């Protein structure tokens, strides 16, 4: 039995009312996509997620992937499910039709990933990394490399990985030491990579590794990193596999969660060295890899959204069925379902609101990504890309923290049963945590936000978004008393993020430690304000639909109620985040290192 149902009504609402679907389908390359087709795609995706992936989630957690005699075995049902996944064309959704892709917008692919991660995050990690590899190869690969690898990666017949981290390097890629020595038309790669998601498995015949390495004369630091294509099995000019490359999985990490996802330690060059092919130019590998990382960071944010949704659905179902204690109001001594208790309702509504706001923010970013890629006007593409660049660390950081918060609340709603693995609530909490670490910890995302995104343009993109938040105030006035609290909180939130932005820009010109000390709360501040902005827009859209008699009235009323809750219960966090941002680093750095 599946305990996950894709929230199709909310997905369609967010895509069409908040994420710019109408503008996106009018762009070149969108083909015959319309709302009716979108609904059909979502329905089929929902069936696959709930009927195939979700029932395997618990099995995967219990069995995990295993390494035996040099072969990585995925859990029972994984291979069949993956075959169904690629036969259904799900891997190919957003990619170039010239190589077998369906050419659908990233917004559509994002909604589908929302389903995959909610249904079975450990499974969804495999196609997520493949799609990141496709992005890099599509943008930077030579024509012959695209011809050799793209079609099989897009179809999902082969999978892809990112190989960045090494034992001595961690997130400090300047310390990467894997070597690449030129030999004719290829390079010999030697070194070890760790934490490689789906670095090896039994789902496909071949895995194409994207590997960061240094050539002998490369400069030190990140300026000396190159990117190489290293297939598990070498591929001939005719596309046939010609023999095993000198690369293998030497161990799998024992993890606290996502047990079914094989996190591999990969050894390159135990013998003569693995054959690799340079992508693009030498010493530009980190820039190329960032294409993969930005794609993956949006997807990791969706992991947080998915875990929010899955944990919420499970907790809400339990709360409706679990009878315990009398209602706090009235004189009836009989016990009631715990969903009636205000504190349980607080937790459930928090989970629901975080899921809906995170979904809105991720889909909105995906919609802007489509405009950045497809719009015929260069200025429109540039403006959309600037918005995407600013939002990516917020989506990744804030949404993944929301996933952990929701999973934590889900365990709490279950009470003692939540602490028992059999109920499944604890798995979501264990699985959710990795998303805060993947593709750069959330601290790294926050530093990226204030350093590369805020300081680099002097806060111009931040101020543009703040003005859009403020511009909504007039429209909210027509929604009346129902969203009065949301409107007031959003106005305060906009003021908070403006003050925090000004403080960080000033500190970047002065004591940069004061800026760094406020980076994480600044990211969280933007998360609640941008999330609140989109929830307010959702409330307005729902109000308009109710007035015109469009759509399902109960869904729309619930959407307004959830937006109101977000405004009254979550948006006020902005004031605390502002205070934390502007506190500076003095108290943070006051204690000596050795006293900590």
The DSSP string of 405-474 is HHHHHHHHHHGGGGGSGGGSHHHHHHHHHHHTTTTS-HHHHHHHIIIIIIITTTTHHHHHHHHHHHHHHH
Contacts from 496-500 at CB under 8 Å and sequence distance 24+?
496/525, 496/529, 496/574, 496/575, 496/577, 496/578, 497/462, 497/466, 497/469, 497/525, 497/526, 497/529, 497/574, 497/578, 498/463, 498/466, 499/578, 499/582, 500/525, 500/577, 500/578, 500/581, 500/582
Main-chain phi, psi angles of 376, to 5 degrees: -70, -20
CA dihedral 124→126→132→137, nearest 10 degrees, is: -150
pLDDT value, residue 30: 83
Alpha-carbon gap, residue 121 to 260, rounded angstroms: 9
pLDDT value, residue 440: 86
Main-chain phi, psi angles of 69, to 5 degrees: 55, 40
Residue 256, Cβ density class (10 Å: 0-12 exposed, 13-18 middle, ≥19 buried): exposed
**Alpha-carbon Rg of the chain, whole angstroms?**
24
Q: Which among 363, 395, 398, 369 has a CA at the least distance from the CA of 381? A: 369
For tokens 């945590």, the residue is 433
Reported pTM: 0.96
Q: Which among 273, 308, 93 has a CA at the least distance from the CA of 188? A: 273
Alpha-carbon gap, residue 338 to 415, rounded angstroms: 11
Main-chain phi, psi angles of 582, to 5 degrees: -85, 5
CA dihedral 365→369→372→375, nearest 10 degrees, is: -100
Q: How many alpha carbons fall within 13 Å on the CB side of residue 194?
A: 11
C-alpha angle 314-315-317 in degrees, rounded to nearest 5: 65
Which residues in 299-426 belong to E strands, given as ranges?
323-326, 335-337
For tokens 């996106």, the residue is 24
Q: Kindly give the confidence (pLDDT) of every residue in the chain, 596 residues in length, as a single tens digit, with 9 standing for 90 and above.
A: 358 999 999 999 999 999 999 999 999 988 889 999 999 999 999 999 999 999 999 999 999 999 999 999 999 999 999 999 999 999 999 999 999 999 999 999 999 999 999 999 999 999 999 999 999 999 999 999 999 999 999 999 999 999 988 887 766 676 789 999 999 999 999 999 999 999 999 999 999 999 999 999 999 888 899 999 999 999 998 999 999 999 999 999 999 999 999 999 999 999 999 999 999 999 999 888 877 777 789 999 999 999 999 999 999 999 999 999 988 888 888 999 999 999 999 999 999 999 999 999 999 999 999 999 999 999 999 999 999 999 999 999 999 999 999 999 999 999 999 999 999 999 999 999 999 998 889 999 999 999 999 999 999 999 999 999 999 988 888 777 778 889 999 999 999 999 999 999 999 888 899 999 999 999 999 999 999 999 999 999 999 999 999 999 999 999 999 999 999 999 999 999 999 999 999 999 999 999 99
- The terminus-to-terminus CA distance of the chain in angstroms comes to 49
Alpha-carbon gap, residue 487 to 590, rounded angstroms: 39
For tokens 């000396």, the residue is 224
For tokens 């680093």, the residue is 585
Q: What would the two tokens of residue 525 be? A: 């501040």
pLDDT value, residue 169: 72
User: Using an 8 Å Cβ cutoff, are 179 and 173 in contact?
Assistant: no
Active site amino acids: 439
User: Using an 8 Å Cβ cutoff, are 273 and 189 in contact?
Assistant: yes
Alpha-carbon gap, residue 460 to 458, rounded angstroms: 6
Alpha-carbon gap, residue 104 to 116, rounded angstroms: 17
Coil vs helix vs strand at 135: helix
User: Using an 8 Å Cβ cutoff, are 42 and 8 in contact?
Assistant: yes
Residue 329, Cβ density class (10 Å: 0-12 exposed, 13-18 middle, ≥19 buried): exposed
pLDDT value, residue 172: 67
Residues 6+ apart with CB under 8 A from 448: 393, 440
Residues 6+ apart with CB under 8 A from 575: 492, 496
For tokens 């190869």, the residue is 137
DSSP state of 155: H
Coil vs helix vs strand at 37: helix
Residue 40, Cβ density class (10 Å: 0-12 exposed, 13-18 middle, ≥19 buried): exposed
Residue 560, Cβ density class (10 Å: 0-12 exposed, 13-18 middle, ≥19 buried): buried
Instruction: Tell me the H-state helices in 101-192.
Output: 106-140, 143-155
The gap from C-alpha 572 to its chain's centroid, in whole angstroms, comes to: 25
Main-chain phi, psi angles of 93, to 5 degrees: -50, -55
Q: What would the two tokens of residue 479 be? A: 């929604």
Beta bridge partners of 190: 179
């Amino acid at each position: 039995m599946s305990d996950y149902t894709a929230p199709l009504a909310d997905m369609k609402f967010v895509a069409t009312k908040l994420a710019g679907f109408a503008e996106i389908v009018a762009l070149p390359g969108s083909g015959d996509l319309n709302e009716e087709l979108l609904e059909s795609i979502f329905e089929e995706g929902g069936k696959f997620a709930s009927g195939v992936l979700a029932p395997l989630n618990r099995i995967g957690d219990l069995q995990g992937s295993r390494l035996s005699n040099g072969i990585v075995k995925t859990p029972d049902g994984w291979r069949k499910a993956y075959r169904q996944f690629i036969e259904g064309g799900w891997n190919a959704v957003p990619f170039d039709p010239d190589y077998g892709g369906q050419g659908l917008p990233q917004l559509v692919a994002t909604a589908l990933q929302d389903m995959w991660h909610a249904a079975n995050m450990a499974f969804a990690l495999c196609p997520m990394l493949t799609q990141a590899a496709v992005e890099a190869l599509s943008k930077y690969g030579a024509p012959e490399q695209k011809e050799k690898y793209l079609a099989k990666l897009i179809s999902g017949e082969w999978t892809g990985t990112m190989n960045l981290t090494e034992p001595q390097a961690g997130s400090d890629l300047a310390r990467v030491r894997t070597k690449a020595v030129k030999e004719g038309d290829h390079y010999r790669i030697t070194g070890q990579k760790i934490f490689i998601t789906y670095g090896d498995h039994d789902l496909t015949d071949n895995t194409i590794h994207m590997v960061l390495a240094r050539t002998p004369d490369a400069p030190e630091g990140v300026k000396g990193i190159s990117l190489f294509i290293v297939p598990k099995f070498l591929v001939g000019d005719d596309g046939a596999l010609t023999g095993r490359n000198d690369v293998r999985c030497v161990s799998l990490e024992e993890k606290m969660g996502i047990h079914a996802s094989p996190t591999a330690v990969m050894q390159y060059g135990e013998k003569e060295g693995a054959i690799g092919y340079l992508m693009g130019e030498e010493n530009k590998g980190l820039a190329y890899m960032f294409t993969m990382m930005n794609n993956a960071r949006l997807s990791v944010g969706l992991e947080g959204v998915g875990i929010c949704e899955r944990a919420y659905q499970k907790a809400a179902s339990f709360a409706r069925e679990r009878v315990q204690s009398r209602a706090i109001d009235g004189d009836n001594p009989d016990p009631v379902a715990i969903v009636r208790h205000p504190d349980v309702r607080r937790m459930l509504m928090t989970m629901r609101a975080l899921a809906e706001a995170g979904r809105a923010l991720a889909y909105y970013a995906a919609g802007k990504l489509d405009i950045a890629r497809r719009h015929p006007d260069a200025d429109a593409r540039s403006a959309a890309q600037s918005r995407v660049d600013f939002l990516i660390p917020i989506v990744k950081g804030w949404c993944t923290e929301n996933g952990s918060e929701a999973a934590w609340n889900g365990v709490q709603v279950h009470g003692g049963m939540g602490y028992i693995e059999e109920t499944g609530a604890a798995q979501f909490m264990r699985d959710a945590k990795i998303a805060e670490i993947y593709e750069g910890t959330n601290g790294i995302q926050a530093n990226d936000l204030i350093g590369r995104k805020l300081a680099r343009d002097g806060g111009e993109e931040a101020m543009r978004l703040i003005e859009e938040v403020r511009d909504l105030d007039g429209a909210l006035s027509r929604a009346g008393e129902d969203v009065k609290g949301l409107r007031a909180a959003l106005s305060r939130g906009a003021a908070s993020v403006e003050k925090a932005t000004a403080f960080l820009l000033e500190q970047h010109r002065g004591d940069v430690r004061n800026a760094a000390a406020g980076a994480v709360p600044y990211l969280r501040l933007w998360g609640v304000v941008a999330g609140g902005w989109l929830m307010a827009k959702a409330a307005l859209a729902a109000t308009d639909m109710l007035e015109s008699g469009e759509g399902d009235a109960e869904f729309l009323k619930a959407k307004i109620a959830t937006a109101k809750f977000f405004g009254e219960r979550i948006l006020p966090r902005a004031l605390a985040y502002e205070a934390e941002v502007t506190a500076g680093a003095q108290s943070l750095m006051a204690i000596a290192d050795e006293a900590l």
